[in-house]
Amino acid sequence: MSDHDPRAPEPASGGEDSVPAAPHPYSYVTIRLTAEEFELVACAARAAAQTLPDFAHAALLAAARAA
């Protein structure tokens, strides 16, 4: 997947102050887990009554806010 948005303006050249491009509205994160780690996360998601993707999303946001 490319992060290039064809509607985005071309970057400014020279010494002008440029405004950074807005982040792409869709972001993807790949997380690799061992089978044991996956089962732990799946159990935690079930205990929280969430789907695995929703649980992972909430956990990533919480970790990002804590950093």
Residue 28 lies in a domain: no
Residue 23 lies in a domain: no
Structural domain including 59 reads: 35-66
Name the residue among 3, 2, 46 with its Cα closest to residue 21. 3
Residue 62 lies in a domain: yes
Kindly report the pTM of this predicted structure.
0.52
What is the band of 36 on the pLDDT scale with cuts at 50, 70, 90?
very high
28's CB contacts (< 8 A; 6+ apart) are 1
Amino acid found at 63: A
| CA–CA–CA angle 15, 18, 20 (5° rounding) | 140
Residue 29 lies in a domain: no
1's CB contacts (< 8 A; 6+ apart) are 28
Residue 46 lies in a domain: yes
Say which residue, 24 or 65, is predicted with more confidence: 65
